[in-house]
Copies of this chain bind each other. A is one copy, B any other.
Amino acid sequence: MTEHQELELHTLPLKYQDEPLYMQLYLHLREGILAGDIKAGERLPSKRRLADDLKISQNTVIRAYQHLVDEGYVKALERSGYYVEELSLLYRPVETTSLSPPAQGEKESSKILYDFAYGGVDPKALPLKELQRAYRKVIGESQLELSRMPHEQGHEKLRLELSHYLFRARGFKAEPEQIILGSGTDYLMNLLFEILPEDALYAIEDPGFPRIAEALKQRKRRYKCLSLDQSGVCLSDLEKSQATILAVTPSHQFPTALIYPVNRRTELLQWAEESGRYLIEDDYDSEFKYATRPIPPLKSMDQKDKVIYLGSFSKSFSPAMRVSYLVLPKSLIHAYQNKQVLFPCPVPVLTQLVMAELIASGEFSRHLNRMRLLYKKKREVLVQELSKAKDYCAIEGADAGLHLVLRLKRARADHFAEKAAQAGIICYPMSDYSIQAELGERLILGYAQIDLAELEAASQALIKLLREI
């Protein structure tokens, strides 16, 4: 902020309407100064300017200003104007305390030694210079696009780049017309619930994302929770449920981290072939596979066009970008376009064009390759350290993604997480993601956000605590 910013004032509240005009202005300015909305050192608008903006007389402004000067809120400097006084001695505005709980990874940092959060990416590895360059370039060349509403499905450029990317990275062909951009998976799931038939019966994974169940509930859609065997949702449960739509995370089930094997995938695809059925495939962290040959997504095996594919840049780039996308089967494009009124795409045009630029320039791909190496190393360190405490815990599902699951052998996960938090180590009980399932002994450990250099110490600190409990 510049030293002597000039205050702008474009309206007078009506709450002082029984007072004369000069008094209304005085009271309003005084309130702003006392509350800190008008800051010490700021210059009040010139009399002429304010009279013009508020459509009142200059005399009214002069009277109000004089009142503020008389009471010491403001000082008049000759040939310069009126400036708000430093009020430190008179009054200190109360620091507003947050009413909301701290978001994940935002807890008081002074007490936290290590946070095994799984919602973020490695902060030090973000290509900031390239991001600056991409924003600079795109802002310079997109004047027109920056001045109007985005296309409701998202900008053509990004949908085209995504179409190429999906072919290369995930092995299937999606036309730009099938792609819809959204602000996060939640947004797109909600959109899907509007596109799909109202009387559909949804089946969702348990454990899974409770937010999905919540959204279904709020939209008054019917759903059933299906538990998982070691290969994911099983066909007999699915058939018993009578569901018509199944939502799954086959590449790396969240949160259990299991990978659906090919046979299970084929079974589910066959199930979906029946008329009116669909599979929703949430491929949220598919970019990261460490062990075996990568299993292609359901969508690439989808001969009958029954898979709705959800992808995201949250893991592959950053969750702070809030860009995810939907690939609709061709049979659903009309249902989408026939929605009586289409909502404009919620992703800022600039964000869309920057992501397109990063893909087109190859920067996204270079970044992903660096991240694959980095996360692979992190995973190795973590697995190596945790393997030293086999009596206390077992590792599950460390073959993909940016988190693994730790099954505790001698403690309940929620008790342990509480204890660990007191020692400055934050880890996450899987039971937070259970809708009905019993998961008392499992912890989710994310390793994207902890620095590689610190991960060994972090793992050792965790094990030390495990041994103490």
A residues neighboring B (CB under 8 Å)? 1-2, 5-15, 28, 31-32, 35-38, 53-56, 96, 98-100, 103-106, 117, 119-124, 126, 128, 131-132, 135-136, 139-140, 143-153, 156, 163-164, 167-173, 175-177, 183-184, 186-187, 190, 194, 210-211, 214, 218-220, 262, 287, 289, 292-297, 300-301, 303, 318-323, 333, 337, 339-341, 343-351, 360-362, 365, 368-369, 449
Q: Given A320-B350, A362-B1 in contact, is the A293-B123 Cβ separation under 8 Å?
A: no
Q: Please state if B171 and A12 are interface contacts (CB–CB under 8 Å).
A: yes
User: A143: which of B123, B140, B301, B349 is its contact (CB, 8 Å)?
Assistant: B123
Instruction: Please give, as numbers and ranges, the residues of chain B lying within 8 Å of A12 by CB-CB distance.
Output: 171, 296
Instruction: Please give, as numbers and ranges, the residues of chain B lying within 8 Å of A53 by CB-CB distance.
Output: 294
Instruction: Please give, as numbers and ranges, the residues of chain B lying within 8 Å of A147 by CB-CB distance.
Output: 120-123, 126, 318-320, 449
Most chain-B CB neighbours within 10 Å: which of A13, A120, A333?
A: A13
Please give the distance in Å from A314's CB to the nearest CB on chain B. Answer: 8
Instruction: Please give, as numbers and ranges, the residues of chain B lying within 8 Å of A344 by CB-CB distance.
Output: 184, 186, 319, 322
User: A132: which of B8, B106, B139, B303 is its contact (CB, 8 Å)?
Assistant: B139
Q: Report the separation of the CA atoms of residues A164 and B39 in the bound assembly, to the nearest whole angstrom.
A: 10
Q: Please state if B167 and A99 are interface contacts (CB–CB under 8 Å).
A: no
User: A360: which of B1, B55, B98 is its contact (CB, 8 Å)?
Assistant: B1
Instruction: Please give, as numbers and ranges, the residues of chain B lying within 8 Å of A303 by CB-CB distance.
Output: 15
Q: Which residue of B lies closest to A287 (CB)?
A: B10
- Each complex incorporates copies of this chain amounting to 2
Instruction: Please give, as numbers and ranges, the residues of chain B lying within 8 Å of A296 by CB-CB distance.
Output: 11-14
Instruction: Please give, as numbers and ranges, the residues of chain B lying within 8 Å of A187 by CB-CB distance.
Output: 183, 187, 343, 346
Q: Please state if B177 and A333 are interface contacts (CB–CB under 8 Å).
A: no
Q: Please state if B300 and A15 are interface contacts (CB–CB under 8 Å).
A: yes
Instruction: Please give, as numbers and ranges, the residues of chain B lying within 8 Å of A169 by CB-CB distance.
Output: 8-11
Instruction: Please give, as numbers and ranges, the residues of chain B lying within 8 Å of A117 by CB-CB distance.
Output: 148
Please give the distance in Å from A39's CB to the nearest CB on chain B. Answer: 8
Instruction: Please give, as numbers and ranges, the residues of chain B lying within 8 Å of A163 by CB-CB distance.
Output: 37
Q: Given A148-B449, A318-B147 in contact, is the A15-B301 Cβ separation under 8 Å?
A: yes
Most chain-B CB neighbours within 10 Å: which of A145, A322, A340?
A: A322
Instruction: Please give, as numbers and ranges, the residues of chain B lying within 8 Å of A320 by CB-CB distance.
Output: 145-150, 348-350
Pull 5 A–B residue pairs with CB atoms less than 8 Å apart, ordered by A: A12-B171, A14-B296, A132-B136, A150-B319, A350-B351
Most chain-B CB neighbours within 10 Å: which of A32, A98, A168, A303?
A: A168
Q: Please state if A143 and B120 are interface contacts (CB–CB under 8 Å).
A: no
Instruction: Please give, as numbers and ranges, the residues of chain B lying within 8 Å of A140 by CB-CB distance.
Output: 128, 132
Instruction: Please give, as numbers and ranges, the residues of chain B lying within 8 Å of A218 by CB-CB distance.
Output: 194, 219
Q: Report the separation of the CA atoms of residues A173 and B289 in the bound assembly, to the nearest whole angstrom.
A: 50
Q: Report the separation of the CA atoms of residues A14 and B346 in the bound assembly, to the nearest whole angstrom.
A: 34
User: A300: which of B13, B54, B297 is its contact (CB, 8 Å)?
Assistant: B13
Q: Please state if A10 and B143 are interface contacts (CB–CB under 8 Å).
A: no
Q: Given A8-B169, A99-B333, A132-B135 in contact, is the A37-B347 Cβ separation under 8 Å?
A: no
Q: Report the separation of the CA atoms of residues A210 and B342 in the bound assembly, to the nearest whole angstrom.
A: 10
Instruction: Please give, as numbers and ranges, the residues of chain B lying within 8 Å of A105 by CB-CB distance.
Output: 148-149
